[in-house]
Amino acid sequence: MKTNDTIMPSDRPAIDVEGLPRERLEKVGAAALTDSELLAVILSGGSDEQKALEQARLLLDSFSILQRMGNATVSEIQYVSGIRKEQAIAIKAAFELGKRMAEYKRHPGTCIQSAKDVADMLMPEFRTYETERLICLEMSTKNEVLARHDISMGGLDGTSAHPRDIFCTLVRNRASAMIIVHNHPSGNAQPSQADIQISQKLCKGAELLGIRFLDHIIIGDGSFVSLKDQGLLKG
């Protein structure tokens, strides 16, 4: 009689259900899960969590850091072996929800008392960008944010912004004050000579139009610089 080496269902290694990402999230909370476990929850759709955990680790290895994954397109996420379109879409949706929550305080009505207030409001968003972006915050006489205007997006080395692009909307809205914010993808928030020059041009233009130019703030990775605080806002 031949020995049957087939592993019967009852002989298979038991899966530690309590150790799976979904069960751990319910038991100990989302904050206790690793990045790969959180991704696995999104990828699994409620089934085959072991496979989802392997996919999650592969994704993290492919993109190196979460910021790159968050900035990737659906097609780029799908490029990772085994990731289906619906999974890639779910990942993009999750990142967008996280971004919206991080940006909540930037909404109109936020009162700005210092450059740190602006940095705290925008750094969670800006530090994820791999290219330069420049925005203008339209301010009230009470230093409340009335609106945000996305002015330009650039490459790794800079963004192109002309003063007319910035003042056009401000004049139309009869704005009384403004704050300019842009990021340095390198992570170094120190202003370049070009940053100083554009700030000085904006100072002159704002003065002619009767708009208070409150500050130009540069955001790096975990740091920021206020050109006003450095005494560089001179027309």
Could you tell me which CATH class the domain 106-226 is placed in? alpha beta
Query: Rounded distance, CA 124 to CA 224, Å?
Result: 12
Q: Which residues partner with 217 through β-bridges? A: 181, 226
- In single-letter form, the type of residue at position 101 comes to M
**pLDDT score of 107:** 56
**pLDDT score of 8:** 42
Give the pLDDT confidence of 211-235 residue by residue, as tens digits: 999 999 999 988 999 999 999 987 5
Query: Rounded distance, CA 34 to CA 195, Å?
Result: 39
DSSP tag of 136 = E
Residues of the chain predicted below pLDDT 70:
1-18, 46, 100-109, 154-161, 235
Fold of domain 14-102: DNA polymerase; domain 1 (1.10.150)
Give the pLDDT confidence of 128-137 residue by residue, as tens digits: 788 899 999 9
Give the pLDDT confidence of 142-170 residue by residue, as tens digits: 999 888 888 887 644 455 667 888 898 89
**pLDDT score of 1:** 44
**pLDDT score of 159:** 58
Q: Where are the domains of the chain?
A: 14-102, 106-226
- In single-letter form, the type of residue at position 149 comes to H
pTM score of the predicted model: 0.59
